[in-house]
Chains A and B, each alone.
Chain A
Amino acid sequence: MSALDSTLDADFSADNFTLFGLSRMQGIDGAELDRRFRRLQAEVHPDRHVQADDAQRRLSMQWSTRVNEAYQILKSPGSRALYLLTLLGHDPQVESNTAMPAGFLVDQMELRETVMEARAASDEDALDAARTQLLREIAAEYQRLVELMDVQHDFKAAAELVRKLMFQEKLLREIDDAIEAITT
């Protein structure tokens, strides 16, 4: 019985890669992740346990919540890299370490200024252009992360790249907010 208990505990607190039966890699097959997510939810989702007893219904909600959370983290390459680096003992310290290369900061500030001006001028085309440019940069960095983490195992460089990415993803959200603000 205690053996059963421990496997159970291990499962609920298992890391997100293990939960989905995936190896700890930055490069994952997105379609496979989607499939496994749906397969897990097909077992644990509260809709599958509507007629069950209280304990099972409660567990079902906890598991379903857990699977949703893990999927959310693994789905986006940025949050996946942040999570994996932390898991491997290379926490990028996104909150505390704000040191960035000067060139990057200057670029970001310029882009942010462009966004602010476009928002003030209600210039949707300029915002779309800034968005497209930023998306292209981010996509390239996602590629680079796979290379750094899975091939070169250069986690220090990967951590720095993740810090940059968090910066850029935040700016992307600001652009989306700006587009929303001027179109509503």
Chain B
Amino acid sequence: MALLQIAEPGESAAPHQHRLAVGIDLGTTNSLVATVRSGMCVVLNDESGRPLLPSVVRYTAEGVEVGYAAESWKARDPRNTIVSVKRFMGRGRADIEHIETFPYDFVDAEGMVRIRTTAGIKSPVEVSAEILKALRVRAEASLGGELTGAVITVPAYFDDAQRQATKDAAQLAGLHVLRLLNEPTAAAIAYGLDNAAEGIYAVFDLGGGTFDISILRLSGGVFEVLATGGNSALGGDDFDHRVLCWIIEEAKLKPLSPHDTRLLQAHAREAKEYLSQHGEAPITVKLGSGEYVDLTLSTEVFTEITRTLVEKTLTPTRKALRDAGLSVAEVRGVVMVGGSTRMPQIQRAVGELFKQEPLNNLDPDKVVALGAAMQANLLAGNRAAGDDWLLLDVIPLSLGLETMGGLVEKIIPRNSTIPVARAQEFTTFKDGQTAMVIHVVQGERDLVTACRSLARFELRGIPPMVAGAARIRVTFQVDADGLLSVSACELTTGHEARIEVKPSYGLSDSEIADMLKESFTHAGDDASLRALREAQVEAQRLLEAVRSALADSADLLSPVERTRIDEAMVQLQAVATSDDRHAINDAMQTLNKAADEFAARRMNQSIQRALAGKNMDQVLS
């Protein structure tokens, strides 16, 4: 075994080490992975040179296929070939529109919908994890090493359940999530840094299955999201669906087989894409029954049958502007993102609303992944001097609690800058009441039934008192990923009956653990080996963090404190590469504890520095 290397106290062991970090656009139709390599932001292609990975997963008796290989089976094996899985993330059966038109064997499950395949029952989280895994493998092969972490994008309008499901999928795929990033914000990074823009910008993002609108202020290297809105179930798929319905009606077709549905869907999509360049699109299909469909779709008809869909994007856009307290005239530019913005009627409608030509100079399919890669590079600590920025994002939907009569009491309003915390006090309804159900919901409506249910938990052990005497404080904390945790305590008795809840509308932690274990068995991998490897990586990360903290501000420590930290570091260093996972974890805990107070002082010093008034105009760099 090689001798351990210990750096000079106060000196980072590897000051210029480049960490491998990627940005992943996990799209409804296609997914991409990008990175910053030698200062250049690039999308990583597959071995055939293709940048996109179709977000399609096919389950067979032998295993799993992802991407183009799976896509080619879409029409032939529709039940086992899952497309647009993003639409099912964090969603129950009742939430999915036109569920009868999907060719899958849906399984009723609590919380998130499941799909029965030849390879067993799969949750949307597992399906998404397959896509992420394929991208991770592609990135590691292309970059020649293990990834430090990834920034994964989500629609800004995703609620807590959808975000949590995405993070779970990443975990399942073996990715360390540096941050969940909103897609329009990612696009703004890609644009803002290229154009050195200042002012108010709107990002109009219409993808395959989701629509987002975000209003941002760019100033001195800070991207501040002022308002966001959208529809997490509206996208190019819906335009295809309108065309499909039109074909069925025009050709007077009888109910279709799953195979024919897929076939016509594919032709509907082709016709839609063709119309972005041409005045009319021919649709010629031979169905399974031998029947022929031969139609021509004109731009006029297409515009007419999708008019209400276009209008559905404009309403949230106006609302976001109103939320931001801005008028159209104050918007300096409108950035178009997502393949569906190629449709001329979308370009026209957005241009008319904002009274200006939308910006299309970056590839709408790639811009989100590129922005995510830039953010991943920044978060991983690879940034070059003078190349720095900060994102301040918001929560898209209000968070609230159910109160008497099925009404919602809003605790955190939509468009609050994250991280955000808010506490609210509640009291008992009946004499001697000792328990209380806390029901957390997300949405803008006044009635619980019209909002999304995120979590329901019971607070027990309230001391019996007359009605209205108890004081229960419920605290909501939303972190920088936009994920919620809730804690509650009873205040009058002094001792706090505190519980912490992570709403997991989708999957429980034990389900995730089971899936992880299962995926290892399939991969011939060893779960305990994997856990050991993770502890080793985590230990290195911690050592590096403390080292760089010491290099920065060791003067904040007394000699005694310094010794304590140094000793804990040596102790961790000694076991960090051993195969004793528990020893590593114990040593990490000791070091974390020793560095606790140090962290507080460093933070305090940062704040003093911020207020000391340097860099008055340019906040960063």
Contact = CB atoms under 8 A, between A and B. Distances in A.
A113 B16 CA distance: 66
Interface residues of A: mostly helix, strand, loop or mixed? helix
Interface in B215-230: 219-220, 222, 224
B419 interface: yes
Contacts of A180: 319, 322
A176 B318 CA distance: 12
Given A51-B545, A52-B545, A52-B549, A42 B620 contact: yes
A39 interface: yes
Contact of A47 (B480, B556, B591, B601): B480
Interface of B: 149, 178-179, 219-220, 222, 224, 315, 318-319, 322, 378-381, 390-392, 416-421, 477, 479-480, 541-542, 544-546, 548-549, 556, 558, 561, 591-592, 595-596, 598-604, 606-607, 609-611, 615-616, 619-620
Contacts of B219: 34, 38
Given A55-B592, A56-B549, A46 B616 contact: no
Interface residues of B: mostly helix, strand, loop or mixed? helix
A34 B599 CA distance: 26
Contact of A8 (B319, B558, B601, B611): B601
Given A55-B599, A56-B602, A63-B603, A21 B479 contact: no
Contacts of B315: 183-184
A128 B550 CA distance: 58
A69 B607 contact: no
9 contacts: A36-B610, A42-B390, A42-B610, A44-B603, A46-B480, A51-B541, A51-B548, A53-B591, A53-B592
Nearest to B591: A53
B317 to A, nearest CB: 11
B619 A61 contact: no
Given A46-B419, A183-B318, A53 B603 contact: no
Given A1-B558, A41-B390, A47-B390, A21 B611 contact: yes
Contacts of A45: 390, 392, 480
Contact of B179 (A41, A47, A52, A54): A47
A179 interface: yes
A179 B322 CA distance: 10
A42 B541 CA distance: 22
Interface in A42-89: 42-48, 50-56, 59-61, 63-65, 68-69, 71-72
A21 B542 CA distance: 33
Contacts of A20: 611
B606 A53 contact: no
Contacts of A65: 419-421, 477
Nearest to B621: A42
A176 B322 contact: yes
